[in-house]
Amino acid sequence: MADNNDREEAVRDAVDVSRSGAPAGGSVIRDRFSADEIFQRIIVAADEEVTVGTREMFFAGVAGGFAITVTFMLYASLYAKTGGDPILSALLYPLGFVFIILGDYQLYTENTLPPVALVLERLASIPSLLRIWVVVLVSNVFGGMLGALALATTDVLSDDAAAAAAGFAQKAIATSQLTLFSKAVFAGLIVAGVVWVDYSLRDSISRLVLIYIAFLAIPFGNLYHVVVSATEMFYLVFIGELALSVGLWQFVLPVLLGNSVGGVVLVTVVNYFHTTERRLETARDQGSKRQLTIREWIWGGWSASGRSYVPATDEIPQSDPESRENER
């Protein structure tokens, strides 16, 4: 009887823990993760993120930026078809973000947030985080620029939709930088919230619903996302109605800063301190012993990503119940 119970427990452990050691099921309630368990899942994803090569990261970012063109195109098209109805015109706005998140593309403000957790734990250096931010942001903007160029030089958009597309950036340019920054902070809050909650979900349908509702809030709240904003700005530049320097300074830069503050400072850091002090030791091999020194943390190279934070606490794969049985 005891052997059967042990085997059942081992099988349950195998189901509830992924190969990386991240929890695949909650310890108290299997379908619900604690804050520490969500943090541990984010840590594993972030550890993989900081080890991705620059080439792979860049092209995943280009794909993410180009996917945002879909959001921009559909928003402008529906805006024209519905006479500017604020509800109906935004119904397909989240589609580009669905492609990015479920398709595992790179997006500044989304995939760039988990590595912040590694830096807060001194498992990755600040320069390695900056490398990710720079590569992803540049590639996103480049992908958005290509998409904006395609829309500006083809007949994909109707005349009414083209006018609506131009109007988005024109309205933003006429908005004060402080207002743009404030609105972008709240967009950053939403995106960072999506990141945190996304790692508490275990199926694609739940993730799809989360992404759709969350990113629908951006047009509904008249908020700004930096990659969408950059795409809108480039479109206006390509049709000859805006100088690039003006668009970058008056529109894109305030939105970039706002998204970064809202996502990193107000949510990622707060969620980090929301977890317990034993968030590392409870599930990861050697816990804090893998941390970088202060010198490594601040001055480490672009690739300084701690001491490979993937191994789980148990050296025996938790997905192999027979190994545990033999050890007894």
pLDDT digit string, tens, across residues 131-141: 999 999 999 99
pLDDT tens-place string over residues 238-255: 999 999 999 999 999 999
Residue 166 CB partners (closer than 8 Å, separation 6+)? 235, 236, 239, 241
* Average pLDDT score over residue span 32-59: 85
- Give per-residue pLDDT as tens, 264-318: 877 777 877 877 666 555 444 554 556 778 888 888 755 555 444 444 444 333 4
pLDDT value of position 316: 32
Phi and psi, residue 63, nearest 5°: -60, -40
Domain residue spans of the chain: 35-299
CATH of span 35-299: 1.20.1080.10
Q: How far apart are CA 217 and CA 86, in angstroms?
A: 11
Query: Helices (DSSP H) in 174-203: which residue ranges?
Result: 177-198
- CA angle in degrees (0–180, nearest 5) for 193-39-140: 50
Average pLDDT over residues 96-125: 87
What is the value of pTM for the model shown?
0.84
Strand partners, 29: 32
Which pLDDT value is given to residue 280? 59
**Per-residue pLDDT tens over the stretch 53-93:** 899 999 999 999 999 999 999 999 999 999 999 999 999 99
Distance of alpha carbon 168 from alpha carbon 175, whole angstroms: 11
Q: What is the mean pLDDT of residues 205-211?
A: 95
